[in-house]
């Protein structure tokens, strides 16, 4: 993964001198969001959630484990977990 893409993924939006690279990374982001059927609102909600967990001094591995655990609880507690996920992420 390129350095710019890693910085972009981590939320550090330093603009490169060449805007072509920046536009190309945005294009990759849009393709990935469409591929996984993620809306801009869902992405915004995820980023808020992720930043709050970072504020609690959780590292990326802890955040992933925590999120996986939440998903498992949702899957067990609700018959239609996809409905619950879509309703929770429509900010």
d(Cα 42, Cα 29) in Å, to the nearest integer? 14
Kindly report the pTM of this predicted structure. 0.52
DSSP codes, 53-79 = HHHTT--HHHHHHHHHHHHHHHHHH-S
Q: What percentage of the chain exceeds 90 in pLDDT?
A: 32
- Token representation of residue 19: 């805007």
Q: Is the pLDDT at 72 greater than 60, yes or no?
A: yes
Q: How confident is the model at residue 82 (pLDDT cuts 50, 70, 90)?
A: low
d(Cα 47, Cα 41) in Å, to the nearest integer? 10
């Amino acid at each position: 993964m390129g350095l710019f893409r890693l910085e972009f993924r981590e939320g550090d939006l330093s603009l490169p001198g060449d805007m072509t690279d920046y536009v190309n990374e945005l294009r990759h982001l849009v393709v990935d969001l469409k591929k996984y059927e993620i809306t801009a609102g869902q992405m915004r909600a995820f980023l808020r959630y992720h930043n709050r967990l970072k504020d609690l001094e959780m590292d990326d591995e802890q955040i992933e484990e925590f999120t996986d655990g939440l998903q498992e609880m949702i899957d067990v507690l609700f018959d239609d977990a996809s409905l619950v996920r879509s309703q929770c992420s429509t900010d």
